[in-house]
Amino acid sequence: MIGEAQHRALLERLAALAEAAGQEILRHYQGPIAVTRKADASPVTIADQAAEAIILEALATLLPDVPVVSEEASAAGHTPKIDEGADRRFWLVDPLDGTKEFLSRNGEFTVNIALIQGRRPVLGVVHLPALGTTYTGSVPAAGGPGLATLAHRGEPPKPIACRRQPKDGAIVLASRSHANEAALQAFLSNEQVAALENAGSSLKFCRVAEGLADIYPRLGRTMEWDTAAGQAVLAAAGGSVRTMDGKELGYGKPGFENPHFVARGRDA
């Protein structure tokens, strides 16, 4: 069990680790990028694999007894057994979330690292290598207030918080590369919308967390490593991620696949 006093020190180390993986990704960002396809036809590059290797090696020393579920290792068939206990702990890692954003070189790709405890993300780091930006979130395992921060290019981290939805309507974020237009429009018909914007990767969670947007509906397929770190940041900032039936999005599901969900800022 990790006590609350240990969270901050561990989160600082996770932020440094995500930034180190981000530096490795940037080594491949400017040159030609070879792309292969996984079994689900999604793209993977040497940058994904190199960043994952850095993260897996470091996590094995940080908390040696905590298993790691990581996107590329799982795609290769290497998924550890997760304890079924109510307080089970494991890491979720996406070494390069937004590979399509990476390939299009728009900067909206991230390194995601999250610690799950009791089916909830209690620590999370989302790092944007091309933008030099790092978000962190720490949430008590028992619930209650957390701490979310934003740091830019070596500056000291600053606390961030969700905003309450403005009276003139919500800024809604949609996926830049995975939009389901018909489902999105059906969802928006029940919301008061001031603007609809597009963004890539788990950056969408973070924009809601820092009060730049209000709602992020995801009405398509995602995996737990895509969402855990961003959910930790958003929850720590006062927001929520709930399934379409209103339940908190949980982790450790069979196959690690998520249902559709809606991420929101601070409740009215």
pLDDT reading at 166 higher than 70: yes
Q: Does residue 74 fall inside a structural domain?
A: yes
243 is in an annotated binding site: no
Regarding whether 125 and 11 lie in a shared domain, the answer is: yes
User: Is there a single domain that holds both residue 145 and residue 219?
Assistant: no
Q: How far apart are CA 234 and CA 148, in angstroms?
A: 8
Across the range 143-163, mean pLDDT stands at 91
What pLDDT does 268 receive? 52
Residue 138 located in a structural domain:
yes
Question: Is residue 22 domain-shared with residue 95, that is, in the same domain?
Answer: yes
Q: Which of 110, 130, 159 is the last residue of a domain?
A: 159
Same domain, 174 and 143: no
Q: Is 97 within any annotated ligand binding site?
A: yes
**Is residue 11 domain-shared with residue 82, that is, in the same domain?**
yes
- Residues of the domain holding 225: 170-264
For the cut 90, the answer to whether the pLDDT of residue 76 exceeds it is no
Whether residue 165 is contained in a domain is answered as no
Find out whether 40 is annotated in a ligand binding site. Answer: no
144 and 185 share one domain: no
Domain assignment present for 164? no
Do 130 and 88 share a structural domain?
A: yes
Do 77 and 96 share a domain, yes or no?
yes
Q: Do 163 and 50 contact (CB within 8 A), yes or no?
A: no
Has residue 179 got a pLDDT over 70? no
Task: Name the E strands within the chain.
Answer: 35-37, 43-45, 68-70, 89-97, 110-117, 120-128, 133-138, 147-152, 158-159, 170-175, 193-199, 215-218, 222-223, 240-243, 257-258, 261-264
Q: Is the pLDDT of residue 169 over 70?
A: yes
Determine if residue 227 is labeled as part of a ligand binding site.
no
What confidence category does residue 178 fall into, taking pLDDT thresholds of 50, 70 and 90? low
Express each pLDDT in 188-209 by its tens digit.
999 999 999 999 899 999 999 9
- Judgement on whether residues 49 and 111 belong to the same structural domain of the protein: yes
Structurally, the chain folds into a number of domains equal to 2
- Is the residue at 103 inside a domain? yes
Residue 22 counted as domain residue: yes
Same-domain status, 227 and 114: no
Q: Which of 159, 183, 202 is the last residue of a domain?
A: 159
- CATH number (domain holding residue 207): 3.40.190.80
Q: What is the CATH number of the domain that holds 59?
A: 3.30.540.10
Top-confidence residue, 187 or 181: 187
Handedness of CA 35, 41, 42, 44 (dihedral sign): negative
Residue where one domain finishes, among candidates 92, 125, 159: 159
On whether 226 is known to bind a ligand per the annotation, the reply is: yes
How much is the pLDDT for 21?
97
- Domain assignment present for residue 135? The answer is yes
User: Is 168 annotated for ligand binding?
Assistant: no
Q: Is residue 204 part of a domain?
A: yes
* Helix-helix angle 46-62:4-27, to 10 degrees: 150
What pLDDT is recorded for position 39?
67
Are 138 and 111 in the same domain?
yes
